[in-house]
Amino acid sequence: MIYDHILKPIFFAFDAEDTHHFFVWVGENLGRFGLTRWATRLACRPVVDPILQTELAGLKLQHPLGVAAGFDKEGRMVPILKDVGFSFVEVGSITGQPSPGNQRPRLWRLPEDRALVINYGLLSTGMEAVAARFKLNRERGRWQMPVGISVAKANVPGLGGAEGLQDLLNAFEKLQPYADYMTVNVSCPNTGDGVQYCKDPIMFRECLARLDALHPIKPVFFKISPDLSEARLLEVMNDCEKFSWVKGFVLSNLTHDRTGLTSKNLAVAKSGGVSGQHLRELADQNLKFAYRHGHQRYQFIGCGGIDSVEDAYRKIRLGASSLQIVTSLIYNGPLWPSQLMRGLAAKLRADGFKNVTEAIGIDNR
């Protein structure tokens, strides 16, 4: 109630990107000291419940809820996010060379729709700038939970085709040693050239072949657009099947579809992908289809439209091995991860499951 009625109205009175940068600064500094991490943990009460313990690509997770890429673009907040209540985090997307992103404003809230319009366009300081910090964090044991690193090609004018793909590969090779798993973002909807590798069969197969030549040693997931047709999604899954290092897919990224949105900010948010509740149905449809056709081979990270315990539980039952959120954290506040996981545990017990893994895909087999 304090967040909803006092803090959120204050935060929402300021520019969305400035507010996000402020929270990155706060989160980074809270994570520096044992006392502030302890105080955060005391306030947020992270859930520890055996019924929620699970795994993702062989990584042990305290529960299925993680942070999606885009929230902690540079991996600055990882030390505090476990104390907030998450069990894993995906940082990035990080590009090979520095990527300035699109011009501001590039982030808008849609409060009437409980959504965001995001048009960052792969804002990243680049692989060299983050690699030293990641190395230091690993050596000093600051990352106390699994960390995925999402990579993409830089959004730089003229950087396309083979050169753009090489930029992504450079980031993958440079950052893989610091990751517990890697995500290859082949679906950013906001680049200047509009290229999404997952929509281009030739470029996606070239991406797979050139990644294979790097001999990946960490589990790899591909982040997929929710706007793909089922036929194209199936083709992507079939293309990945022979590469054992491909462990699954993040379903899904932002959507360009704006049907049914009502927020006044749409008048100024002309460009960008939409997150939040609006994405729920599209993301669930993709997850349902992908699990039905690929659950014996892949795992799926459910992302998009999780704004209630029911949303989280539904994604698990449709086939998600784990979950990721960003937008609902912004709308519900820092206690939301623990509230969400306590609610999920209650749902599982009420339906007679002994562990969350028993519920994965139960409605979709």
SS3 (DSSP) at 94 = strand
How many other C-beta atoms lie within 10 A of the C-beta of residue 130? 24
In Å, what is the CA distance from 276 to each residue of 55, 112, 362? 25, 11, 25
Residue 230 lies in a domain: yes
Residue 30 lies in a domain: yes
Q: Which residue matches tokens 């949105």?
A: 261
Residue 148 lies in a domain: yes
CATH of residue 275? 3.20.20.70
Tokens of 241: 């099947």
Spacing of C-alpha 342 from chain mean position: 21
Q: How many independent structural domains does the chain possess?
A: 1
Residue 61 lies in a domain: yes
CB 269 within 8 A of CB 117: yes
Residue 364 lies in a domain: no
- The tens-digit pLDDT sequence of the chain (365 residues) is 788 888 899 999 999 999 999 999 999 999 999 999 999 999 999 999 999 999 999 999 999 999 999 999 999 999 999 999 999 999 989 999 999 888 889 999 999 999 999 999 889 999 999 998 898 888 778 888 999 999 999 888 877 777 888 999 999 999 999 999 999 998 876 676 667 888 888 989 999 999 999 999 999 999 999 999 999 999 999 999 999 999 999 999 999 889 889 998 888 888 888 999 889 999 999 999 999 999 999 999 999 999 999 999 999 999 999 999 999 999 999 999 999 999 999 999 999 999 999 999 999 97
How far apart CA 78 and CA 134 sit, in angstroms, is 10
Residue 278 lies in a domain: yes
Residue 120 lies in a domain: yes
Q: Which residue, among 291, 249, 276, 332, has the nearest Cα to 3 in the 3D structure?
A: 332
Q: Which residues pair with 89 in a beta bridge?
A: 67, 147
Range of the domain at 181: 2-359
Residue 365 lies in a domain: no
Packed helices 230-240 and 280-294: angle between N→C axes, nearest 10 degrees: 40
SS3 (DSSP) at 344 = helix
